[in-house]
Each structure stands twice: as structure tokens, then as C-alpha cells.
Amino acid sequence: MRSATVRYLDGKSAAARAVTAELELSRLAVYDDGDGVLSRWPLDSLHSVDRWTVARGPLRLGVRGEPGVRLIVEDHAFRQTLLSAAPNAGRPPKRPLPPALKRLSIMGAAMAAAFTALFVAAPWYAGPVTELIPLSWERQFGEQVSDLINTNAGWGVCESEAGNAALDRLSNRLAASAGLSYVPTVTVVSLPQNNAFVVPGGYITLLSGLIEQSTSPDEVVGVVAHEFGHAIERHSLKRLVRANARSVLLGAMLGGSTLIARQIAEAGASLWELQYSREAEEEADRIAVDILRRAGITTAGLKRWFGRLAEEEGAETGTDDQSTPATNYFSTHPSTLARFQDVPVYAGDQGLDDSEWQAIRTICD
């Protein structure tokens, strides 16, 4: 459940009023029929105002930096959705340290945290560690990894003026829908497998087999939106931190990215044999659906692509072998039958017009 009626106190008046709260990609929007949007808050700014959060009953939320603002969520289904999406909604904010103790502990805590993150904890706490890495470094690093993998792997990068322009327009449209501060780069390489992957920084590679086997443009658009989901949540960077924690963190701390990028690129495609977790794949699926819906693009193509992969994997025939050459290359996607069933169908256009689709289909000719 993505929206519900809640009670809202603005911190200025003692009276609560009924408003609509809607869960967006990374924010909670609050609006009413009369005044329109009242506010949009980052999900990580929401916190419980109670000492503990009970399993049932109203969820009372505050907003970091806005004293007195309260949301009271009584709808149980929306409450559970919000608790899953907002990391701090189920717990009160931490009390700040006294100033004197804070000053005394800063240097020692920072040194201990850096040592622990770099040499001990990084592989197991990839998510929090990844948040320490600036997006600007990730983008520079990802560009180098993408270029070096394409060079070292020896596969052909497909380019044409019309095809590149169509991919750029699609990427800009999806980035605007997702509210990204940058536009991911989409490249096509000449390989027969039905797959795609993304490296850190939002550098997405489509295998030509994916385009050739797609029956309509909305399938390719849906896959690109799925890779956007991985890029937004920095899944590939988190995966690299787990596998190459010390090198990645040292590169980010020292400002260098070329050496670690070269080391990873030399591993070539074997790097992408590491699977995303099922949770990461489901998260990317949810984000893809939201991006497509907001962009006015149908989700039918993404659902159709998952359905075809599920059939190829044997999920509907009951065979034990769940992999095929079309699906185990890079092995980035687990069994897809449940994911096919979970994708809702929203109406919209196909994301590419006929001329753009033709340009992309012939980009490797």
C-alpha cells in the first residue's frame, strides 16, 4: 500500500487535520485537496516519537529538523509499508552526546571507525561503508571500469548516431522520472546473450542479444529501468566493496580510482558472476516499476521479459536445471518466475517510438 489518509500536525497549530500521505521513491509526500502538496520529506528523516514502536496501533512520526511536526499513521497496511521503507520510522532519534564528550571522542572514534571499516568490517557492512564513498568518485571510477572492461574483454561496442541518440533520450527520460542528479550512460555491446549489467556510477551495458530477442521496445526499456534501480541503490558498488573492500576504500580515501579500476577490469566478466542478493533484485524491480509508472511508460514489457526468462529457466516446466546460456551469463539475476508474478502492469507508451526502436535494433549492424 503506497498511500493512506493520516493525521498531520504542522507544529504551529494544536489541531490535527486529515491529509493524504504517499510513499515515493525516496520521500514521503503529504498533501490535501485544498492546499496541494504540504511537504516532501526524505524517508531517512522520519523517526518515531515514541520510546518504542508497538506491533499494532498508531505510528507516531516526527521529522528531523522540523520540531513539532507530527504524522499519526493509523492504517495498518500503510504503517507496515512505511516501516519497511523508512529506516528510522520504527525508532526514536539518537540523543546527541554532550559537547565535551563529543569533542574528546571525535578523533579516536574516527580513527577506530576508519581502521575497522577498511580492514575488518567493510565486506560485512558494505551498505553503510558505501555511503562514505562520494558519488563523484563512484562516477569517475565506474567510467574507467566500463571503458577498461569493454577494451579488455574484446567484445565490440556498437555505435551509431541515431542509436546513441535514442539511448540518450531514453536515459534522460528515465533519469528525470527517478529524480537523479546525473544521467546514467547506456552502451550496447555485440554479444548474443539476453542480458544487461551496470557497473558503479550508473554505466549500463546492454548485450545485443537482449535487443535481438526482445519482441517490442518496452521490454528493453523495462530492463534499462531495472538497471537504473541497481544504480540508484548503488548495488554494484556495494558488491565491489564486499569483494574488494580494502582497494575500493583506499582508492576513495586517497582520491585515486585508476589502479583499482584496472585491477577489476582485468578480472573481466568474472566480476559480474557474483550474484546480487534476492533483496537487491527485488528492490531494483520495485524501483524500475516506479520509474516507468512516473515516466508514463508501460510496465508490460518488463513483465513480459521476466515471463520469457522464467520459461527459459524451466520454472514453469518443473525442471531442476534453472539456468540456460541465455540467463546464466554474468549470473546477475536469480530465478524470475516470482518476479514476473510480482510486476504490476501499468498503462503507458513503450518508451521508444518506431524510429528510435529501429535505430537501437540496428545499432550493431
Are the C-beta atoms of 133 and 201 separated by less than 8 Å?
A: no
Residue 164 lies inside a defined structural domain of this protein? yes
Amino acid 94: pLDDT: 61
Q: Which of 153, 170, 151, 150 is nearest to 162 (CA)?
A: 170
pLDDT tens per residue, range 266-316? 444 444 445 678 888 889 999 999 999 999 999 999 999 988 888 877 644
222 or 2, higher pLDDT: 222
Average pLDDT of span 129-133: 73
pLDDT tens per residue, range 197-231? 998 899 999 999 999 999 999 999 999 999 999 99
Question: Whole domain around residue 304: which residue ranges?
Answer: 130-361
59 or 260, higher pLDDT: 59
Nine cell digits for residue 195: 542480458
pTM over 0.85: no
Same domain, residue pair 240 and 136: yes
Confidence band of 320 (pLDDT split at 50, 70, 90): very low
Are the C-beta atoms of 178 and 228 separated by less than 8 Å?
A: yes
Confidence band of 347 (pLDDT split at 50, 70, 90): very high
Are the C-beta atoms of 158 and 208 separated by less than 8 Å?
A: yes
Could you say which of 85, 101, 116 is where a domain stops? 85
Q: Which of 90, 87, 76 is nearest to 1 (CA)?
A: 76
Residue 105 lies inside a defined structural domain of this protein? no
Average pLDDT of span 247-261: 47
Residue 102 lies inside a defined structural domain of this protein? no
Same domain, residue pair 155 and 248: yes
Confidence band of 12 (pLDDT split at 50, 70, 90): confident
Q: How many domains does the chain have?
A: 2
Same domain, residue pair 216 and 333: yes
Are the C-beta atoms of 206 and 189 separated by less than 8 Å?
A: yes
Residue 121 lies inside a defined structural domain of this protein? no
Amino acid 39: pLDDT: 87
Confidence band of 141 (pLDDT split at 50, 70, 90): confident
Average pLDDT of span 140-152: 78
Amino acid 321: pLDDT: 44
Same domain, residue pair 189 and 316: yes
Could you say which of 85, 105, 122 is where a domain stops? 85
Are the C-beta atoms of 115 and 109 separated by less than 8 Å?
A: no
Q: Which of 101, 26, 28, 103 is nearest to 66 (CA)?
A: 28
Same domain, residue pair 346 and 203: yes
175 or 336, higher pLDDT: 175
Amino acid 331: pLDDT: 41
Domain CATH code at residue 34? 2.30.29.30
pLDDT tens per residue, range 231-245? 999 988 887 776 655
Could you say which of 27, 51, 85 is where a domain stops? 85
Are the C-beta atoms of 235 and 282 separated by less than 8 Å?
A: no
What is the Cβ-side half-sphere exposure of residue 38, based on CA atoms within 13 angstroms?
A: 21
Amino acid 323: pLDDT: 41
Residue 109 lies inside a defined structural domain of this protein? no
How does the average pLDDT of the chain come out, rounded?
78
Q: Which of 233, 334, 338, 333 is nearest to 290 (CA)?
A: 233
Amino acid 319: pLDDT: 44
3-class SS letters over the chain: CCEEEEEEEECCCCCCEEEEEEECCCEEEEEECCCEEEEEEEHHHEEECCCCCCCCCCEEEEECCEEEEEEEECCHHHHHHHHHHCCCCCCCCCCCCCHHHHHHHHHHHHHHHHHHHHHHHCCCCHHHHHCCCCHHHHHHHHHHHHHHHHHHHCCCEECCHHHHHHHHHHHHHHHHHHCCCCCCEEEEECCCCCCEEEECCCEEEEEHHHHHHCCCHHHHHHHHHHHHHHHHCCHHHHHHHHHCHHHHHHHHHHCCCHHHHHHHHHHHHHHHHCCCCHHHHHHHHHHHHHHHHHHCECCHHHHHHHHHHHHHHCCCCCCCCCCCHHHHCCCCCCCCHHHHHHCCCCCCECCCCHHHHHHHHCCCC
Same domain, residue pair 146 and 75: no
Same domain, residue pair 137 and 228: yes
pLDDT tens per residue, range 93-115? 665 555 554 554 555 555 455 54
Same domain, residue pair 163 and 27: no
Amino acid 275: pLDDT: 65
Rounded CA separation 351/358 (Å): 13
Nine cell digits for residue 310: 522464467
Task: Using alpha carbons, list the distances in angstroms from residue 48 to 20, 86, 147.
Answer: 19, 11, 45
Q: Which of 123, 281, 86, 268 is nearest to 191 (CA)?
A: 268
Amino acid 126: pLDDT: 57
pLDDT tens per residue, range 69-91? 888 888 888 888 888 888 777 77
Residue 281 lies inside a defined structural domain of this protein? yes
Are the C-beta atoms of 18 and 6 separated by less than 8 Å?
A: yes
pLDDT tens per residue, range 14-65? 778 889 999 888 889 898 877 788 888 898 888 887 755 555 578 888 888 8
Residue 241 lies inside a defined structural domain of this protein? yes
